[in-house]
A and B are shown apart, each in its own frame.
Chain A
């Protein structure tokens, strides 16, 4: 495979600008898991002006809800979930200073527009490769919404988590470019 760009979190504006759709990256540092229910609670808190349990400035949210860790494990299987379900919440999170999102599958036009406005990057991980991905997770701790079980917000420390830049901050979109390239019209 081609050159892999190493990324250490939190993300800077310059780092985000330097990433292009189709880049292979490996992410190290802290990332936060949040999916449907946590996003609902976070955006509700933002609307009512409550303080958030995590400061998302410069951070990456990973759309994931892991399986329980077996004894001796840091985390269970931990692959990405479908990002599209978070589309309704993502612009609000980007306005909070969020710089990156990791998930799987395409995003809405509104999300891509908001990414361009806020200089945010969207990484794709391989959906369904969850046992493999767990190897990159070195620490895991629930930091908010414990009552949500698998949907709680977890602070993960990852090492060389492999991802692909699916949509960059300029709006270049691998889901469109790739499909266009391989579409066969009779």
Chain B
């Protein structure tokens, strides 16, 4: 038994979670994180194409305006993806975690005047639930007695351009690179470039897509801890920016702001690769309670 990871048991009312989720939903919609903004501002200087530069300048102006006026930067305020890391020594009281998160989303989207973009049934009725619930919630048990919540309101323009391929191990690193480049090429101007490219490699089919999404929660532009994957991220970013897609797909030098790769061990017979794209309004907020 590893005593070093043990903490004292602690209680937390789920009301605190509702409150935090509500606040973070509104903040995420209106206040682009500085890490993303920094990359967009750098892109303005790098971009050479007329319409590419024009788009980026408008985007920067929009970021400033939405922050100052507490207005959503994009009308697609997304479906809310929540990554909850729950300490195993934390006891949640007063209700269920899922209900508390959804209540936070409900309140945040109502009080923040955010768009309700979730439909009840994906195929049959496609009726709007009217309060942007339910959120897509992933919980993970971790050591400790705290809860970390990461909130990613995800727009569908970029989400629709995601891709997954179960590669054969023989396809190797080249196969991985080719598939990622292909996914970004096919997405073209649709996902509101410049994008952040989330890549998940390994695990199983489902695990790779989850990793690709989780990669988008990383501080934008922060490199992978492993120098080899860091080099791969840099190489892919360079290759993607040679595609010429540019801001909004109008042609240009900046198609992606960053590439984030996450990996997981996998089966001897497979090599899943998933690509999840985020638009330039790469909204992510987090809190630890």
Give the residue of A81, A85, A134 whose beta carbon is less than 8 angstroms from that of B71: A134
Interface membership of B65, Cβ < 8 A: yes
Q: Inside 8 A of A185's CB, which chain B residues have their CB?
A: 242
Q: Inside 8 A of B130's CB, which chain A residues have their CB?
A: 149
- The contact size tier of chain A is 35 or more
Q: Inside 8 A of A186's CB, which chain B residues have their CB?
A: 242
Interface membership of A76, Cβ < 8 A: yes
Q: Are B71 and A77 in contact (CB-based, < 8 A)?
A: yes
Binds A, one of B6-14, B49-57, B210-218: B49-57
Interface membership of B246, Cβ < 8 A: yes
Q: Inside 8 A of A67's CB, which chain B residues have their CB?
A: 71-72, 75, 77, 113-115
Q: Inside 8 A of A106's CB, which chain B residues have their CB?
A: 188-190, 249
Q: Are B248 and A132 in contact (CB-based, < 8 A)?
A: no
Q: Are B252 and A178 in contact (CB-based, < 8 A)?
A: yes
A binding-site residues for B, Cβ under 8 Å: 1, 22, 37, 64-70, 76-79, 81-82, 84-85, 104-106, 124, 126-132, 134, 148-151, 164, 166, 174-175, 177-186
> Beyond A67-B115, A126-B248, is A104–B189 a contact (Cβ under 8 Å)?
yes
Q: Inside 8 A of B192's CB, which chain A residues have their CB?
A: 104-105, 127-128
- The contact size tier of chain B is 35 or more
Q: Are B242 and A184 in contact (CB-based, < 8 A)?
A: yes
Interface membership of B179, Cβ < 8 A: no
Query: In the bound complex, what is the Cα–Cα distance between A185 and B76 (angstroms)?
Result: 35
Query: In the bound complex, what is the Cα–Cα distance between A184 and B189 (angstroms)?
Result: 17
Query: In the bound complex, what is the Cα–Cα distance between A182 and B248 (angstroms)?
Result: 13
Beta-carbon nearest neighbor of B67 in chain A = A131
Q: Inside 8 A of A124's CB, which chain B residues have their CB?
A: 248, 250
Query: In the bound complex, what is the Cα–Cα distance between A175 and B252 (angstroms)?
Result: 11
Q: Are B75 and A182 in contact (CB-based, < 8 A)?
A: no
A-B CB proximity, top 10 nearest: A178-B251, A183-B244, A182-B244, A184-B242, A129-B62, A127-B192, A131-B66, A105-B190, A131-B71, A132-B62
Give the residue of B77, B160, B242 whose beta carbon is less than 8 angstroms from that of A82: B160
Q: Are B249 and A77 in contact (CB-based, < 8 A)?
A: no
> Beyond A178-B51, A179-B244, is A129–B61 a contact (Cβ under 8 Å)?
yes
> Beyond A67-B75, A67-B113, is A181–B62 a contact (Cβ under 8 Å)?
no
Q: Are B251 and A105 in contact (CB-based, < 8 A)?
A: no
Query: In the bound complex, what is the Cα–Cα distance between A71 and B250 (angstroms)?
Result: 36
Q: Are A164 and B73 in contact (CB-based, < 8 A)?
A: no
